[in-house]
Structure 1
Amino acid sequence: MSDASAVTVAVLDDLRQESDELDLLVAGLNAEGWALPTPAERWTVAHQIAHLNWTDEVALLAVTDPGAFADEAGKAAADPETFVDEAADEAATALPPEALLVEWREGRARLQEALREAPAGAKFPWYGPPMSVASMATARLMETWAHGQDVADALGVARKPSARLRHIARIGVRARDYAYSVRGMQPPAEQFRVELRAEDGTSSVYGPEGAPQRITGPLLDFCLLVTRRAHRDDLALEAVGPDADRWLDIAQAFAGPPGKGRPRKGER
C-alpha cells in the first residue's frame, strides 16, 4: 500500500469512528430527546442527523453520479441561504427518529464503501473545489464532528477531544483563502504559521516557521472556531499580526455561506 493510500484508509477509518461516536449519543434517545433544540437556530437533534444523512447522500452522488450531483448543486446555487435549512426540515419530519437513524447508518455505510472502492487519484465535484477521496472523507469527518458538537451541546454532554481533531484543523488551515473569497475579500498573499496544542501534549503545526503572522492555541478551540461552533471571544486562540487576527473572525472549514456562527457565552 502506498503512503497516499495508507493516509486515505486512515482518514476513512477515522470518519467511521467519528460517526459511530455520534451514533452512540443519539441511539438511545426517546422522542423528546430527538426533539431537543440544538444551538443551531430552529434545528433539533433530528435536524442535525437528517442533515448529516442528506449530506452523505449528496456526497455519494458526487462519487458515483456526478451528473446527478450537478443537479443538486444547481438547486443549492439557486437558493444558497435557505437550501440547507429546507433540506434538513424536510428530512427531519419525513421519518420517525428510529427510521431516520437506520437511514443515516445505511447511507454512511454506502458512502464509506464507495470511497474505499474509488480509483486512486479520483476527484469528485463538490460545492467548493473538487475533492479527492481523502479530502471528501476529511470534509465528512469535519461536518460529522461539528454537528455532533451541536447534539452534544443539546444533550449537555462533554465530549473528550480525540486525535481525529487534527483532520479538522488541517482542513481549516487549508480553507483559509476560501474563507476570504466566500465573503468577497482578497486573501493575504503571505502564509500564516499555525501552532495548535492537543490535550495529550502533541502539536499540529502548519505554515513556515518564521512567518510573522501567527495563530497559537488549543487544537480543540481552533476546531470549534473553524466549524463556527463557538465564538472567538470564548476561545483561547491568540493571533499575532493584523491579517492573522482578521482571519480568526472569518475562518471556516466548510463550503458554502458562513452562517451566523455562535454568539458569545451569556448572549444566547
Structure 2
Amino acid sequence: MLDYGLDTSGLDRDLALPDLVAEGDELDALVSAHTDWSLPTPAEGWTIAHQIAHLASADANVLIAIRTPDAFEAVLKQAEAAGSKYADLDAAEGAAKPRSALLEEWRAGRAEVAAALCDIALDHGFPWYGSQLTASLMVPLRLMETWAHGQDVYDTLGVPHRATGRLRHVASLGVIGRELSFYAAQLPLPTEPFRVELTGPDGRTWAWGPEDAAQRVRGSGLDFCLRVTHRRSLAETDLTAVGEDAQKWLDIARVFL
C-alpha cells in the first residue's frame, strides 16, 4: 500500500466517490454478464471469482476499520500470520462461495463502503495496514483497486476496458506514490522535483509538479495507470522519461507494497 505519510492534499473525496461507485458498477455489469467465473486471470492462481472475492473482502475490512477500529487489530493479526500468502488465501476463501452469493456480497459491501466513506468526516482517521487513513485517501484507493483488478477481468475476457476520466484519481495515487516506489526498491529517494504530464482520455493534460523540473515523465494517463498498478510492463506503454531518476521511477513505479 501507499506510504500514507505522503502529501495527499490534491485528492478530493467528493470528486472521487461517484467515480468509485461508477467503476464498481461498470465491473459489475461485465462480470454479471459472464457465467464462467472459473477462467484464470493474469494474476497467477486467480480466477475471475478470486478477483471479485478480493474486492469484496477488502470492502468488508474497510467497514471494520471505519465502524469498529479496535476490531481491525484482528484483521492485521490475520494478515501478519499468513504473511505473503494472505491475499491468496483470502481470495480463495471467497472464490469458493457460490457465484450468486459472492456477487451479492460484493454489491452490498461496496454500497456500504461508499455510504460510510461519504458520511465520515474528512479529518477522521481510521486504521489500515501499517497506518492511519482518512476518507480522502481511501476513496481513490478503493477506486484504484477496483479498476486494477477489473483490468485483469477485462484482459481475461478479451473485452476492451474503456478509459475514462476516473483514471485521474488512479494517476494521482501513482504520482504521490513515487517515494514509495523508491523505498520499496530500496533505492535512495530523489532530491529533485518531478514534472508529470499525462494525456487523459478526453485529450486534456493532467499535470503535477513544477513546469521547469528537470525530471520529467510524459505519456497517456491510461498507460501510466497500467504501469503503476503493474498491469503492463514499461515496454508495453507509451511512457517516456527525461532524467535518470525519472527513468528509474518508471522502471520501479508502483502504488502498493
Shorter-chain TM-score category?
Answer: over 0.9
* Unmatched 5+ stretches in structure 1: 257-268
Matched residue, 2:55: 52
Matched residue, 1:264: none
Matched residue, 2:21: 16
Could you say what secondary structure the match of 1:223 adopts?
Answer: helix
Query: Could you give the per-residue CA deviations for residues 166-189 of structure 1, whole angstroms, max 9, x where no partner exists?
Result: 000000100111122233332212
* Unmatched 5+ stretches in structure 2: 1-8
Q: Distance in 2 between matches of 1:248 and 1:228?
A: 11
Range that drifts further, 81-90 or 181-190: 181-190
Asked if 1:26 corresponds to 2:28, the answer is no
The Cα RMSD (Å) is 1.6
Contact 2:177 2:254 in 1 (8 A): yes
Matched residue, 2:168: 166
Structure 1 pair 13–233 and aligned structure 2 pair: CA distance change class (3 A):
same
Could you say what secondary structure the match of 2:197 adopts?
Answer: strand
Range that drifts further, 63-72 or 52-61: 63-72
Alignment-mate amino acid for residue 141 of structure 1: L
Alignment-mate amino acid for residue 154 of structure 2: A
Q: Distance in 1 between matches of 2:202 and 2:244?
A: 30
Contact 1:192 1:212 in 2 (8 A): yes
Q: Which has the higher contact order (CA 8 A, sep 6+)?
A: 2
Matched residue, 2:248: 246
- Taking only the aligned residue pairs, the percentage that are identical comes to 47
Could you say what secondary structure the match of 1:34 adopts?
Answer: coil
Q: Distance in 1 between matches of 2:53 and 2:201?
A: 31
Q: Quick one: which of 152, 155, 158 aligns to 1:156? A: 158
Q: Quick one: which of 67, 72, 79 aligns to 1:69? A: 72
The within-5 A match list for 1:70-85 is 70-85=73-88
Range that drifts further, 73-82 or 227-236: 73-82
Matched residue, 1:209: 211
Alignment-mate amino acid for residue 84 of structure 1: A
Query: Could you give the per-residue CA deviations for residues 87-120 of structure 1, whole angstroms, max 9, x where no partner exists?
Result: 1111111x11111000000111111111111123
**1:128 Cα deviation (Å)?**
4.7
Contact 1:214 1:239 in 2 (8 A): yes
Matched residue, 2:225: 223
Q: Report how many aligned residue pairs link the two structures.
A: 248
Alignment-mate amino acid for residue 85 of structure 1: D
- Scaled by the length of structure 2, the TM-score of the pair is 0.92
Query: Could you give the per-residue CA deviations for residues 136-175 of structure 1, whole angstroms, max 9, x where no partner exists?
Result: 0100000000000000001110021000000000001001
